[in-house]
Structure 1
Amino acid sequence: MPDTAGASPRFRDKPVSFVRRSGRMSDGQERAWEDLSATFVLAVERDAAATSIRPGTEIDPVAEFGRRAPLVVEIGSGQGHAIVHAASSLPGTDFIAVEVFRAGLARTMLDADRAGVRNLRLVEANAPEVLQHLLPEASVDEIWIFFPDPWHKKKHTKRRLVAPEFPRVAARALRDGGVLRLATDWEDYALQMRDVMAEAGEFAPDFDGDWAERFDGRIMTAFERKGIAKGRDIRDLAYRRAARDA
């Protein structure tokens, strides 16, 4: 397989949007990983880091799922509550959960298996590298980023995922007319997201006014309830991928 490292961004020239926790998984999570990962977890070739994706190693979603269907990718799927619910509610759509914390992926697999979900795959990797290197261009119908780490301390905001370089990466993976959905309970991050997307020529707002309506495909999770309980406003945004130049 050719090494395209010289032509493709590695996403290691800036801080990543996460810090991996070193805590061990529970016995149940370890068993889930051992028993279920062959069914749910996408095998990927690594580059320089444990969560990296080797450039030039795209998957074929049709081959992975055994069918051609709309594809939704959730970045930062956490414990998997939102994506397992979505996958079980929409059996005609395929889903990929992107997460770097293995314990969260193990919990997602357990819940998906109990629900009989088979239209879901998981990938343990840095999200921009998934969008740039693992998924074929224009293969994704929607990208969901719900409540990403806000990195609210000023010295850490450089770690935020939705930054000026991100729309280009998301636009590559999305088909023309595909949708990028965002939600956060941190006002200054919501404002940053909106500012970043306003400068992204590959996207146009898919809402009227200042903010999008709450996405009805997102279930209310404990995380969102916690933000509401603390008096934070939940901000939704949605952007549609513009048509590529002919």
Structure 2
Amino acid sequence: MTDSNQPEMTEAGQLMRRIRSFVRREGRLTKGQERALTQLWPVMGVEFSGDMLDLAALFGREAPVVLEIGFGMGASLVEMAQAAPEKNFIGIEVHRPGVGACLSAAEEAGVTNLRLFCHDAVEVLEQMLPEQSIDTLQLFFPDPWHKSRHHKRRIVQPAFVQMLRPRLKIDGLFHMATDWQNYAEHMLEVMQAAPGFANTSDFGDYVPRPDSRPLTKFERRGHRLGHGVWDLVFKRTN
């Protein structure tokens, strides 16, 4: 999971193009990450092409698909894929060291039900994922853009939600998590107003952390410091 490498959105819900210099700020690849990108990317990596994917062909089977936007270093994504071998997992991340780390962790865990993109998530969703192809879409700890003047850059905006909605199957789930209460409230406001979605919370707001979402080291540290974490799970209804 990552706070800094997920797409930024304008107030109108359009993708903000990244300046190319972000590549130079991402940090150097370790030898292990570089090896993983060289040796394992051909097996688990998916190049962005703009062509619609055949997910059954990509994984060599028909199975429920879980997609995560911004998996950071990939530890929890690999843990989820290992715990649910009956599902197919897709991760999208622009941070190459994170992709390399995720590939290494997947190899070490013996995970084979995982495929990765190193590209902007909005473009992957719009151009490569067919309608009603995703069972669960995960967005964990996106950049909160905590300053008020930057709130418009938050990825969870009405236009983004309506862009991803067709990619979810009917009854498919959009699962979000954040450790910023203001962003949780923003997510809730956007999703409550979003056509075609229903809140799965019994109380109309947040849900307890599902067992399927592993606790990260970052989150455990936050719990020790008394920081809150808010999970939201909305179901596509039409």
Q: TM-score of the superposition, structure 1-length normalised?
A: 0.85
Could you tell me whether the CA contact under 8 Å between 1:17 and 1:159 is conserved in 2?
Answer: no
The aligned residue for residue 50 of structure 1 is none
- Please give the secondary structure, in 1, of the residue aligned with 2:158: coil
How far is the alpha carbon of 1:14 from its aligned partner? 4.5
**Of 20, 27, 42, which aligns to 1:23?**
27
1:227 aligns with 2:219: no
Q: Which runs of 5+ in 1 are unaligned?
A: 1-10, 46-53
Counterpart secondary structure, 1:79: coil
Distance 1:152 1:33 in 2: 33
Q: CA deviation at 1:224?
A: 1.2
C-alpha distance after superposition, 1:60-92 (max 9, x if no partner): 100100000000001111111111011111111
| Aligned-partner Cα distance in 1 for 2:182–2:104 | 35
- Which protein is richer in helix relative to its size? 2
User: Mapping of 1:202-221 within 5 angstroms?
Assistant: 202-209=196-203, 210-221=205-216
5+ long unaligned stretches in structure 2:
1-11
Does the alignment pair 1:74 with 2:78?
A: no
* Partner AA of 1:218 in structure 2: R
Match of 1:115 in 2: 109
The percentage of aligned residue pairs carrying the same residue is 41
* 8 A Cα contact 2:179 2:227, kept in partner: yes
RMSD of aligned Cα (Å): 1.9
Aligned to 1:171: 165
Letter in 2 for 1:39: V
- CA offset digits 1:204-226 (Å, max 9, x no partner): 10111131121110111112123
Q: How many residues align?
A: 223
User: Is this contact kept in 1: 2:14–2:159, CA < 8 A?
Assistant: no
Amino acid at match of 1:15: M
Moved over 6 A (4+): none
User: Counterpart of 1:242 in structure 2: which amino acid?
Assistant: T
